[in-house]
Structure 1
Amino acid sequence: MRSLFLSSIAALYALAVALPQPHPLSISLTKKSTLKTADGRVDPASLRAHISSAEAKLQRNAAAFERNTGAALFSPSHTKRAAALGSAPLIDDANRNWIGAIEAGTPPQTFTINFDTGSTDLFLPGSICGNACGGQQRYNPEISSSAEPLGEPFKVEYMDNSMATGDLYTDSVSLAGFKATAQTIGVALNASGFSSEKYDGLMGLAFKSISKFGADSVFHTLVSQGAVPEPVFAFKLASSGSELRVGGVNSALHQGSFTYTPVIKEGAWQITGDAIEIDGKEVVNAFPAIVDSGTSLILGNSFDVSQLYATINATEVEKGVYALPCDAMPAVSITLGGKSFPLSAETLNQGTMDSSGTICIGAIHGSDEVGDQWILGDVFMRNVYSAFDVENSRVGFAELA
């Protein structure tokens, strides 16, 4: 009997080894909107509105973290409270978005998604969502055999008085071919004040502690269910060849080894930076920072940013927004984990602000709302290959190939 049991185990093991093993897979990413006007210029007032959106997202994350854990995400002096506390983020049309495809439901329904390392939840427009959902693809749980209602409503309120309401469901969600089962989804059934034809929904990739729903992100669900070969996802963000790698890193897209820095608090992907230098002068050191694919810019506290631009005599044209000659972009580098990562002049240049084409907007902006917290968004991430390691709670950076 024992020999029969052992033989059966051996047969099962041999079968498991023979079956195809999962490998990391990639989703191609495209950029579908920018912060520029139709004529290619940057409007400082619109840019200021985008900064306000990033500030509001930081406040929402802090409120969700406190509600879910009972602890403060930031020191009270570092986080001002706003009327929209507790709302979960949706990205409006003015943002720069990196989007790709996912599937949800059984049979699968396909959606174009904005991937955001600065939030956690998955939102999709529902089949009876109003005109605010515009030309978006709608998710219909009624035609999915794997959908289950949770019997819980949600309400999302925004700083600009827009809002969305809906219901929570669980369903299967496939990311780069890896399937998460019983994933919590916020399904918008009514909305006002926002619309987007650029993408259908938002997928957060951060930690459960800042979830509006108290649920794991899709990637964390994949990890907990053993559905991915490695508990790592990675980004390349560039003018071409951008991708989200799921279940590992793409060695063809980076060169040299990774420099890792630990996550200091599992809300968003929050790390500690060593220094920020401009033209060889260190302006900031030992600063907390969030690595955020859902924000297009680099955002820091107003004082440090003003000191940075004072080094090159730039002019503040809107609160926290600075202009300088287009041909005089400074040499800026950010040191993480002991390694300095230079930012290209192309990424530091937000674009021209007048018809002369000689004055440009810098892509590092100041805020009174963030305390000493920095947000390292698209402007930084386009200069590195970024790996997010869930198991070891760390973020790695490598030079682009």
Structure 2
Amino acid sequence: MRLKIASLALFSLLVAASPTSDPKEPIARIPVARRSFTKDGVADIDALKEHLVNVRLKIARGFANFENNTGALHPNDNGVLRKRVAEELRLARRKTGLDPLTDDLDGVLWQGNVNIGTPANTFSVDFDTGSSDLFVPSTACTDANCAGHEKFNTAASSTAVDQHQTFSIEFADGSTVAGEVFHDTVSIAGLTATDQAVVAATQYSAGFALDVSPPDGLMGMAFQAISNSNSPPVFATLVAQGQTSAPVFGFTLLDSGGELFLGGTDASAFTGGGLTFTPLVTAPAFWEVAAQRVAVGARGVVARAQDAIADTGTTLFIVDTASARAIYAAIPGSADAARTLGEGFFTIPCDAVPDDVSVTLGGTAFTLSPDTLNFGRVSARSNACVGGIVGDDLGVWILGDVFLRNVYTEFDVGNLRVGFAPVVL
């Protein structure tokens, strides 16, 4: 069935329970909306810098959760990133009188609605393929950051079961999302997951204050191995309970008409001869694949394959520092903006934004449009624009919106792979 509405594990379990694709079984389209880091053509560089810090924190949390859940270090975790973010958090806690930071949940993610509880309440959430937990504010949250959001009344839901398990994640401003893990019924556009882990947050990060982040919460769509609560994510539960036609979901990240497609492949969303698939390069954790090459025109500027996470929760395309320098060195008129904008940032000429920067995945080159590569002018009258490719040494690349907005991206849980094809604009 097609649902055009505004609202919206363990690997062995998923494979055993994954149904064969059948067009008669449920498929759901969920419209998703996006906010922007650009206003009146000028980049919000402070928000971008703070977003970059919070991406570091998210990846470091994923590394820590992977170790806690599996007993092993993540292959990309060399300890450097976790030490770095621990120091950044220590410094953030010492600061006072700061304006709320724009965190990785503001201005960058793709949001829609889910229903939680019995009777069901509707919550707006950001869909994040770079994390794995579902959390919303609870009625027990009385701090100012929860004000104005829809709240989860666990006592009023006949299907809510307290797991007596706490949840806590910290953000770059030192604030925290914390709460209690419940199991309850969660539905997305008619697809229903029962006994699903949901965090009822009793404390909210400043980045979730209503004037900063309108969505009520977040729904992670990566794998259980990086879940803070060590619970199957919602889509994993939908697959395990036979709710989907196929164990795949896809994103079309357009400024107008963006969509999350659950339980099948939306062939109307992409062009060309079909999807190019590339397998995960690690055990299921992040949606991590190999980026084989980056080119500017015909010139290959990064020729060595790099591990890269496909992450709807990151707006930037983040590469290691050396690769960022190599990419921008091939773009005429670009400049290192570390001293003026911040470490890792570069500028490109506003009147000559390149249209020939490409990333090769699975043997296919995908080109970044000038619109996605350009984050806006440095200032209202400047001819220097902020480039969307940023250098930061995370131990892994992040294929964020700068890349993903150019493609239809299919996340294949059953075959542990990610598919890409040029998006229909």
TM-score in terms of structure 2 length: 0.84
Structure 2 counterpart of 1:257, one-letter code: G
Equivalent residue, structure 1, for 2:117: 105
Report the Cα offset of residue 347 of structure 1.
0.6
Question: Following the alignment from structure 1 to structure 2, what is the Cα–Cα distance between the partners of residues 102 and 297?
Answer: 26
Question: Following the alignment from structure 2 to structure 1, what is the Cα–Cα distance between the partners of residues 364 and 257?
Answer: 25
Pairwise mapping of residues 2-401 of structure 1 onto structure 2 (< 5 A)?
Answer: 21-31=24-34, 33-37=35-39, 39-73=40-74, 74-76=76-78, 79-81=81-83, 82-83=85-86, 92=104, 94-129=106-141, 130-191=143-204, 193-197=206-210, 198-255=214-271, 256-265=273-282, 266-284=284-302, 285-312=304-331, 313-317=333-337, 318-330=342-354, 331-368=356-393, 370-371=394-395, 373-401=396-424
Structure 1 counterpart of 2:178, one-letter code: T
Structure 2 counterpart of 1:296, one-letter code: T
Question: Following the alignment from structure 1 to structure 2, what is the Cα–Cα distance between the partners of residues 190 and 160?
Answer: 14
TM-score in terms of structure 1 length: 0.89
Larger Rg, first or second structure (1 or 2): 1
Cα deviation per residue 1:67-91 (whole Å; 9 max; x = unaligned)?
Answer: 11122211416644332899xxx95
Q: Between 356-365 and 56-65, report the one with greater CA deviation.
A: 356-365
Give structure 2 stretches of 5+ with no counterpart: 1-22, 90-101
Q: Is the 1:83–1:159 Cα contact (8 Å) retained in structure 2? A: no
Question: Following the alignment from structure 2 to structure 1, what is the Cα–Cα distance between the partners of residues 151 and 88?
Answer: 27
Question: Following the alignment from structure 2 to structure 1, what is the Cα–Cα distance between the partners of residues 301 and 190?
Answer: 44
Give the direction of change, closer, same or farther, for the CA distance of 1:84–1:125 in structure 2 (3 Å limit). Answer: farther
Structure 2 counterpart of 1:376, one-letter code: L
Cα deviation per residue 1:332-376 (whole Å; 9 max; x = unaligned)?
Answer: 0011000111111111111111121522111000113x13x1100
Question: Following the alignment from structure 2 to structure 1, what is the Cα–Cα distance between the partners of residues 104 and 329?
Answer: 32
Question: Following the alignment from structure 1 to structure 2, what is the Cα–Cα distance between the partners of residues 146 and 94?
Answer: 31
Question: Following the alignment from structure 1 to structure 2, what is the Cα–Cα distance between the partners of residues 192 and 222?
Answer: 29
Q: Is the 1:161–1:193 Cα contact (8 Å) retained in structure 2? A: no
Question: Following the alignment from structure 2 to structure 1, what is the Cα–Cα distance between the partners of residues 87 and 195?
Answer: 29
Question: Following the alignment from structure 2 to structure 1, what is the Cα–Cα distance between the partners of residues 292 and 410?
Answer: 18
Give the direction of change, closer, same or farther, for the CA distance of 1:383–1:223 in structure 2 (3 Å limit). Answer: same
Question: Following the alignment from structure 1 to structure 2, what is the Cα–Cα distance between the partners of residues 188 and 366?
Answer: 33
Percent identity, aligned pairs only? 39
Q: Residue 114 of structure 2 aligns to a residue in which SS? A: strand
Q: Between 70-79 and 263-272, report the one with greater CA deviation.
A: 70-79
Equivalent residue, structure 2, for 1:17: none
Give structure 1 stretches of 5+ with no counterpart: 1-19
Q: Is the 1:153–1:167 Cα contact (8 Å) retained in structure 2? A: yes
Q: Is the 1:125–1:187 Cα contact (8 Å) retained in structure 2? A: yes
Question: Following the alignment from structure 1 to structure 2, what is the Cα–Cα distance between the partners of residues 28 and 91?
Answer: 23
Q: Is the 1:127–1:140 Cα contact (8 Å) retained in structure 2? A: yes
Structure 1 counterpart of 2:351, one-letter code: D
Q: Is the 1:63–1:85 Cα contact (8 Å) retained in structure 2? A: no
Q: Is the 1:112–1:199 Cα contact (8 Å) retained in structure 2? A: yes
Q: Residue 254 of structure 2 aligns to a residue in which SS? A: coil
Q: Is the 1:60–1:84 Cα contact (8 Å) retained in structure 2? A: no
Cα deviation per residue 1:7-52 (whole Å; 9 max; x = unaligned)?
Answer: xxxxxxxxxxxxx942311100111x32235x44114343222111
Question: How many residues are treated as equivalent by the alignment?
Answer: 375
Question: Following the alignment from structure 1 to structure 2, what is the Cα–Cα distance between the partners of residues 145 and 353?
Answer: 52
Question: Following the alignment from structure 1 to structure 2, what is the Cα–Cα distance between the partners of residues 298 and 84?
Answer: 24
Structure 1 counterpart of 2:33, one-letter code: T
Structure 2 counterpart of 1:46, one-letter code: A
Structure 2 counterpart of 1:315, one-letter code: A
Cα deviation per residue 1:96-132 (whole Å; 9 max; x = unaligned)?
Answer: 2211111011111001110000000001110121211
Q: Between 328-337 and 113-122, report the one with greater CA deviation.
A: 328-337
Equivalent residue, structure 1, for 2:96: none
Give the direction of change, closer, same or farther, for the CA distance of 1:91–1:140 in structure 2 (3 Å limit). Answer: farther
Structure with greater strand share of residues: 1
Question: Following the alignment from structure 1 to structure 2, what is the Cα–Cα distance between the partners of residues 164 and 22?
Answer: 36
Q: Residue 273 of structure 1 aligns to a residue in which SS? A: strand
Question: Following the alignment from structure 1 to structure 2, what is the Cα–Cα distance between the partners of residues 196 and 169?
Answer: 23
Question: Following the alignment from structure 1 to structure 2, what is the Cα–Cα distance between the partners of residues 375 and 240?
Answer: 23
Structure 2 counterpart of 1:342, one-letter code: T
Equivalent residue, structure 1, for 2:7: none
